[in-house]
Structure 1
Amino acid sequence: MIETALVTGAGRGIGKEVARQLAERGMRVWVTARTREAAAAAATEVGGEPLVLDVTDPASIDGAAAAVADLDVLVNNAASYPDWGATALTADLDELEAAWRTNVVGPWLVTRAFVPALRRSPNPRIVTVTSGSGSHGDEQFGLSSGPAMTPYAVTKAAANAWTRKLAAELPDMRVNAVDPGLTATAPGMAEMGARPVPEGAASVVWAAVLDQDGPTGGFFRDGVPHPW
């Protein structure tokens, strides 16, 4: 039986590569983006099916959910990246609210909408792409690493916490948060030591293809537990 996956924010970057890797594994993949053009272009490139889904728009979420009858894997990948230099005292709070809407409320709304379809699967998995910046134990980019990236880090810490609570509510599903690590999704990032996009995406795919005996309620990077 062919499994079905849906990836949010799959128009580019890690999301598109996750969709590609899942399609290469033989899955039917819904490749979502905020516009029809972006979804169609990415779907053609990776071998998936396009679907318009804006995680900040409840009407768009409901429309996408109505188009997907059955689902085995939901990958909450769409993300917003506020000013990396912003601190607790200097952050633009309008930017923070926009990031909160995308990084926390977005996956919350999307997951609620798609849980009915996931319940039809014999092995449903939910993967939320978060970040080591929201970790207390990530020495390089975590919450104790310094004052920068505060808005982004706070939203990802919240996404981690939400994922843990969701896993407790859905014991019949594999529900995990995944840090893809610093990944070269923008110009200049490779020079900063970021790893290639396929490597970051593979960290996410690991959780998307777990079997029924796989872990749930965890935070992982490359299949290894990551500190909360």
Structure 2
Amino acid sequence: MTSPNEQAPVALVTGANQGIGLETARRLAEAGCTVYVGARNPDRGTAAAAQIGARFVALDVTSDESVAAAAAQVEAEAGRLDILVNNAGITGPQVDVHDLTAAGMEEVLATNVVGYVRVIHAFLPLLERAAEPSIVNVTSGLGSLARFHDPSTIESRAGSPLYAASKAAINMLTVRYARRLPGIRINAADPGLTATALSGGMGHSVTDGTDAIIRFALGEDRHLTGHYRDREGDVPW
């Protein structure tokens, strides 16, 4: 666990016990942040936090009670939140389009979209106590309508309609929140195709996949708001 440091940025990453979330948390901790690893499974979350020198907070983004308890823990221990990385997400049913159902859509939206709103709402008071608060919403190029209509891109050929729709919703949430909350920098980061359990191990490294997140949180893009970027730069909406 990191030692308390009032000057160090306080960061929370949801869905951080593996993959992009864990690598994001590791890089933030490496940069000197006090990092909270948010995860539903306490065993996996505690192990992940110990691995990178972070703190574990039990956090299920589909539960009001869980998110409220996580916010209370961060408030009691740190008093504020400088960086929120909304990362927890699911792919949802990977089935033929004829077999997609409303229940499947509800499941995806509950985590990928409603979960982001739930976490932002609960942690907004702590973010507003920070000097330069930042929210990074992890999205996907699959949420880009421009890339979908460009036959040269992988996004035009791949991806579940349900998952892609949830990421498009995250993009719109990002720009609307950014406009309504001018005191907080709020951006959408596209990891690209990254080799995680979610992608079946296909794609570039998790370090490459977290580049845009880290740039928004701490790097050269930290002063931007309302932007949609991957590690190469702006992604077309």
Q: Is the TM value for this pair above 0.5?
A: yes
1:80 and 1:103 in contact (8 A); partners too: yes
Number of equivalences: 223
Aligned equivalent of 2:125:
116
2:90 and 2:198 in contact (8 A); partners too: no
Q: Which amino acid aligns with 1:80?
A: I
Does residue 1:74 correspond to 2:74, yes or no?
A: no
Distance 2:130 2:196 in 1: 32
Q: Could you state the TM-score of these two structures normalised by the residue count of structure 2?
A: 0.88
CA displacement 1:59-103 (0-9 Å, x = unmatched)? 00000011112110000000011234543x431332221110000
Distance 1:117 1:126 in 2: 12
Structure 2: which 5+ runs fail to align? 1-6
Alignment equivalent of 1:97, drawn from 106, 111, 127: 106
Does residue 1:63 correspond to 2:63, yes or no?
A: no
Distance 2:16 2:198 in 1: 18
Alignment equivalent of 1:167, drawn from 162, 178, 190: 178
Identity score, percent? 41
Q: Could you state the TM-score of these two structures normalised by the residue count of structure 1?
A: 0.91
Aligned equivalent of 2:93:
83
Alignment equivalent of 1:49, drawn from 47, 50, 55: 55
Residues 1-228 of structure 1: pairs in structure 2 closer than 5 A: 1-69=7-75, 70-87=80-97, 89-138=98-147, 139=150, 140-142=153-155, 145-146=156-157, 148-186=159-197, 189-190=200-201, 192=202, 194-210=203-219, 214-222=223-231, 224-228=233-237
Over aligned residues, Cα RMSD in angstroms?
1.9
2:38 and 2:45 in contact (8 A); partners too: yes
Structure 1: which 5+ runs fail to align? none
CA displacement 1:148-196 (0-9 Å, x = unmatched)? 5100000100011011110011101110001000000039845x4x001
Report SS of the residue matched to 2:38. Answer: strand
2:13 and 2:25 in contact (8 A); partners too: yes
Distance 1:99 1:115 in 2: 23
1:34 and 1:53 in contact (8 A); partners too: yes
CA displacement 1:103-137 (0-9 Å, x = unmatched)? 00000010010010001111000000000001012
Post-superposition shift, 1:141?
Answer: 4.0
